[in-house]
Amino acid sequence: MRRGPRAPAPAAEPASRQLAPRRIITAALWLAALAGCADPAGLTRGTAHIEASAGSPQTGAIGRGLPDSLEVTVTDFAGRPVERVPVSWATSDGRIAWGGVTDAEGHARAAWTLGLGLGEQHASASVLGLDPVGFVATGSGFRAAQLAGGGAHACALTDDHRVFCWQRDPGTPQLPLDTVPTLVEAGARFSRLVAGSAHTCGLTDAGVAWCWGRNDDGQLGDGTQVSRATPAPAAGGPWTALFSGSTAYATCALDTSSHAWCWGSLEGGYPPLSRVSLPTAVGGPAFRSLSVGFRHICGIGVSGGAWCWGFASDGAIGAGATTDTWTLVPTPVAGPTMDAVSAGAIQSCGISAARAYCWGGNFYSALGSPGDMLRYVPSPVAGNVPFSDLSLVVRGAYALDAHGLGYRWGSPGGCCDLSGPDEPTPLPGSVGLDTLVATGNGACGLMSGSHTVICWTPVGLDGLDVAAPPTGSPAPPAPSTPAAPGRIPPPFPSRPRK
């Protein structure tokens, strides 16, 4: 039987078309893998990798941003960059500004502001599912040689004669000290610093005083009442020493014959010092040292013994009960002969044969021992601690013992510490100090062997805590805590309207 023509065999499909389903499946799997990589939960050590690609190691100034950004690169298992991957940054030193997600090249970046510890600091970057990577930087900064504490700030003089200051946020004065030290652009080389409530002065080797800060009471001594952000020479001199205090709106100096001169104002604007903008002679004996308080001044005479003058009604002059509101000239302090003296806001304290004595107002245990609210002559501070130095604030005191351990009593934490101890209590972490100064809202200490500053600020009504271990200069403070409701500060005059 004759067959019809055979139908043509179907043409063979091109090899590329034969492979198309396989390619489609592979592409789908690849896209799924990429989609999984874009999701942090889909990244694992077997399919992706993160590495530090820039920014480590570096060296930068403490408290400042590093010059180079930190950078990581995220790649897949084939070494290809993966984008849109969130990267988490962390540091125990300073702060990190998050840089977002990875870009098309797989890079993510962040800015690192170093903490205030000298030496090695660490940061890290991580992606969920992957091992984190580390960064290291070395914090460099000043080596403190001297320390000055004011009412709203503290300053350090370095061993190469530069000045760094740090202060509260001026818009929120109830907060603790700002942690970032700022270099003061001075036109002179200082050999000594002193700090008042809101001003600072430096003394040159030639005996010239340079001052800056608030000047509405004339405390800068330049003949004006114009505040200055940078140091300018004060009138008078040459001076051999300068003095102020954390509660003071005035500055005092000793001339070459050891006699006292002062400028500025005592609280209330009354004699013997009332908004004096040029150095004015005090009179009285030659002095070895001075301490300027809120409304009185004390000093140690060249021949020994303490002398005080100013507001007398609260007993801070130490000359016994009096009906006089103001003592206008230096008056000897009754009791034991003092080797050192410090003036606060409502009280005075001194050291005699390594024993601390206080007199004046005892509000919030400012005198370091329980008892009468007003004491017109020196009374012993509780305990038998041998002290070498004192620094007073509004309602309390800081003291340094003969072994370099810091103490406090009263309520020396400023606005936020109104229930402090009524007798000397050690400061946490205050070991090996050779200087301890009040800062109005806490204290700072200097360890000269390591040229390191460490600070304390209020962390609650129970007292002060050390802000950080003494590894930097200065250390960051602890957060402040508002005062408890219903607590009333002790009565003393508010500043008059200018």
The highest-confidence range among 374-378, 452-456, 460-464, 479-483, by mean pLDDT, is 374-378
Regarding whether 74 and 222 lie in a shared domain, the answer is no
444 located within any domain: yes
Regarding whether 118 and 155 lie in a shared domain, the answer is no
pLDDT of the residue at 257: 98
The encoded tokens of residue 194 equal 């002193």
Regarding whether 82 and 61 lie in a shared domain, the answer is yes
Regarding whether 275 and 149 lie in a shared domain, the answer is yes
| Domain endpoint, select from 140, 173, 192 | 140
| Domain endpoint, select from 110, 140, 170 | 140
Regarding whether 323 and 309 lie in a shared domain, the answer is yes
19 located within any domain: no
Q: What is the mean pLDDT of residues 136-144?
A: 85
Residue 457's CB: how many other CB atoms inside 10 A? 27
23 located within any domain: no
What CATH number is given to the structural domain containing 148?
Answer: 2.130.10.30
Q: What is the mean pLDDT of residues 439-452?
A: 82
474 located within any domain: no
Regarding whether 150 and 136 lie in a shared domain, the answer is no
pLDDT of the residue at 467: 46
What is the domain range of residue 70? 43-140
Angle at 208 between CA 296 and CA 332, to 5 degrees: 25
- Domains identified in the chain, total number: 2
Regarding whether 73 and 187 lie in a shared domain, the answer is no
pLDDT at residue 389 tops 90: yes
| Cβ-proximal residues to 32 (8 Å cutoff; 6+ apart), any chain | none
pLDDT at residue 413 tops 70: no
What CATH number is given to the structural domain containing 107?
Answer: 2.60.40.10
Of the given ranges (67-81, 158-172, 379-393), which has the lowest mean pLDDT?
A: 158-172
Regarding whether 153 and 129 lie in a shared domain, the answer is no
Nearest CA to 330 among 396, 285, 271, 377? 285
Please, which residues bridge with residue 343 across strands? Answer: 348
Percentage of the chain exceeding pLDDT 70: 77
Q: What is the pLDDT of residues 187-215, one digit of tens each?
A: 899 999 999 999 999 999 999 999 999 99
Q: What is the mean pLDDT of residues 148-173?
A: 77
475 located within any domain: no
22 located within any domain: no
Q: What is the mean pLDDT of residues 293-306?
A: 96
Residue 84's CB: how many other CB atoms inside 10 A? 15
Regarding whether 104 and 215 lie in a shared domain, the answer is no
* CA–CA gap between residue 164 and residue 180 (Å, rounded): 9
Regarding whether 329 and 397 lie in a shared domain, the answer is yes
399 located within any domain: yes
242 located within any domain: yes
| Domain endpoint, select from 101, 118, 140 | 140
Of the given ranges (12-21, 73-82, 272-281), which has the lowest mean pLDDT?
A: 12-21
Average of per-residue pLDDT values in the chain: 81
Nearest CA to 376 among 360, 398, 390? 360
Q: What is the mean pLDDT of residues 44-53?
A: 83
Of the given ranges (117-131, 369-383, 461-475), which has the lowest mean pLDDT?
A: 461-475
pLDDT at residue 289 tops 70: yes
Query: Which residue did the predictor score with more confidence, 38 or 485?
Result: 38
Regarding whether 409 and 270 lie in a shared domain, the answer is yes
Regarding whether 428 and 310 lie in a shared domain, the answer is yes
Task: For residue 323, count CB atoms less than 10 angstroms from its CB and return exposed for 0-12, middle for 13-18, buried for 19 or more.
Answer: exposed
pLDDT at residue 119 tops 90: no
